[in-house]
Each structure stands twice: as structure tokens, then as C-alpha cells.
Amino acid sequence: MRVVLDTNILVSGLLSAVGPPGWIVEAVLAGDLEIAFDGAIRQEYEEVLRRSEFGFAPARVDDVLTALDQFGLNVAAAPPWPAPLPDRDDESLLAVALASSSVLVTGNLRHFPLRARGGVTVLSPREFVDRLRLSKR
């Protein structure tokens, strides 16, 4: 299964392996889930993970980014998202999800109103994990 992760899920999952964000990030880093991103998303991941407030060791951030590059799908030219979102920075997440046939997982569902999703499936971490478990039965 292919997934686009909002940065809040990546950070949460790296801060704690317990709970849905942790399980999702663990599956991505193990190569069990394919993560899709574009240059802007990848840049945001790196920028946020390197913030001192999270306390990630630089080597850990490097390892995570290397794993994402190794196991992920870099969507080179996702078209711009046509419907405005409350946070314009989130538009690339939907564009990449659509271009890569991915599910978007976010902790901020309110940032992705149903009318602006354009057919992209947007799930909370819990909803995604539940769906993943059902698909493995």
C-alpha cells in the first residue's frame, strides 16, 4: 500500500513508536509501506525533523531521510492542487496523493475539507491502521 504522510504523522511516529503514528512510521521505515512525496514534502520533512524542539539526533534524521529516499516514491511533477485548502502548504500533500494513488494520513483532518479532497482518501492514523489491518485479513 502506498501512503502520503503529513509531517505531523512522521514527527509523532518518530517521537513515540507506541500508537498508530508510530506503527505507520515503523512500517514505512521497514519498507512494508511505500511512502510517496515530492521535493516540497521531502524538504518539509527534513526541515521539521531538524528542529531542536524535537531533539532528534542529526544522525537519526539522516537515517530516516535515507530510508524515505530508499523505500519511497518521489513524485517528480505532481500537478498543482486546484481547490484551495485552509493551509495552502497542505495542497502538495493532496496533489502527491492523487498523482501516486496514495492514501493521505494526517492528524489534521480539518485541514482537508471533504469538498476539497478531489477524491483522495484522507484518514487519521487510527483509521489508516484499522483499514490496513482489515486488508490483511
What are the pLDDT digits (tens) for 10-53?
Answer: 999 999 999 999 999 999 999 899 999 999 999 999 999 999 99
Counting Cα atoms < 13 Å in the Cβ hemisphere of 30 gives 8
Enclosing H/E stretch for 64: helix 58-71
pLDDT at 93: 94
Q: What is the Cα–Cα distance from 97 to 101, expressed in whole angstroms?
A: 6
CA dist., res. 5 & res. 45, Å (int): 10
Q: Which three cell numbers stand for residue 23?
A: 506503527
User: Rounded CA gap, 93 and 84, in Å?
Assistant: 12
Q: Is the pLDDT score of 137 beyond 70?
A: no
Judge whether 93 and 4 are in contact, CB under 8 Å: yes
**Position 103 pLDDT exceeds 90:** yes
pLDDT in tens, 46-79: 999 999 999 999 999 999 999 999 989 999 866 7
Look at residue 78 in the predicted model and tell me its pLDDT: 67
Q: What is the arithmetic mean of pLDDT over 87-115?
A: 91
How far from chain centre, in Å, is Cα 34?
A: 10
Domain ranges of the chain: 2-135
Beta strand residue intervals within the chain, DSSP E:
2-5, 34-37, 73-74, 103-105, 122-123
CATH label, 2-135, candidates 3.20.10.10, 3.40.50.300, 3.30.1360.120, 3.40.50.1010: 3.40.50.1010
User: What is the spatial distance between Cα 99 and Cα 19, in angstroms, rounded to a whole number?
Assistant: 28
